[in-house]
């Protein structure tokens, strides 16, 4: 599928409401469980998405527009949410994510990106040269991947409870 900014924006716009519908007001048993050591709970994932809103997508887009390949992106701390989310409720995190996403989508819209501008290049600290188009497509896939991860983590909480139906539920084998 070809990247189209307006279609990508529709996915990005819907992520906060999707997470809100799925997670708000659930008991801790649903939101704090993970898949075992070194895995993330839904709570952790929302915190991670917040950190991305603050330090990744729009800040990196601005670097591409302002400096191109001459200034590499700041490395992204994939685990910053553990400290930054400490002591907060999931409701606070969901509200923060929704607010930050709304602000970031307004900033994205204000960039008035054209097809030519989407081909501008930046430098990822590990991956090398990337385009603005690739960065924005990655933002969408990142959202979708974490929505899938949340659903998978939650489904696994009932992995034993479904009994013999485990054979039909592929989400439990991922």
**How is the chain split into domains, by residue range?**
5-173
Model confidence over 20-33: pLDDT tens digits? 999 999 999 999 99
Cβ atoms of residues 154 and 30 within 8 Å: yes
Model confidence over 129-152: pLDDT tens digits? 999 999 999 999 999 999 999 999
What's the whole-number mean pLDDT along residues 93-109?
98
Which of the following CATH numbers is that of domain 5-173: 3.10.560.10, 1.20.120.450, 1.10.8.290, 3.40.50.720? 1.20.120.450
Tell which residue, 27, 62, 32, 69, has the closest CA to residue 47. Answer: 32
Q: What element of type H or E holds 124?
A: strand 121-124
Helical spans, DSSP H, in the chain = 5-23, 28-31, 42-55, 57-67, 81-84, 90-110, 115-118, 132-156
Model confidence over 38-82: pLDDT tens digits? 999 999 999 999 999 999 999 999 999 999 999 999 999 999 999
Whether this prediction's pTM lies above 0.85 is answered by yes
User: Residue 174's pLDDT is what?
Assistant: 83
Q: Is the pLDDT of residue 158 over 90?
A: yes
User: Residue 71's pLDDT is what?
Assistant: 95
């Amino acid at each position: 599928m070809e990247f189209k900014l307006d279609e990508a924006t529709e996915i990005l716009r819907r992520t906060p409401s999707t997470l809100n519908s799925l997670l708000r007001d659930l008991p801790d048993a649903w939101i704090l469980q993970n898949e075992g050591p070194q895995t993330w709970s839904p709570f952790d994932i929302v915190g991670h998405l917040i950190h991305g809103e603050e330090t990744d997508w729009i800040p990196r887009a601005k670097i591409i527009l302002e400096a191109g390949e001459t200034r590499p992106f700041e490395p992204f701390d994939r685990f910053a949410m553990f400290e930054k989310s400490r002591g907060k409720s999931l409701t606070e995190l969901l509200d923060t994510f929704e607010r930050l996403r709304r602000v970031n989508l307004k900033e994205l819209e204000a960039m008035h990106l054209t097809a030519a501008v989407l081909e501008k290049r930046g430098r990822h600290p590990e991956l090398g040269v990337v385009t603005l188009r690739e960065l924005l497509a990655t933002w969408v896939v990142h959202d979708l991947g974490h929505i899938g991860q949340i659903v998978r983590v939650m489904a696994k909480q009932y992995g034993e409870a479904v009994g013999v139906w485990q054979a039909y539920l592929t989400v439990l084998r991922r």
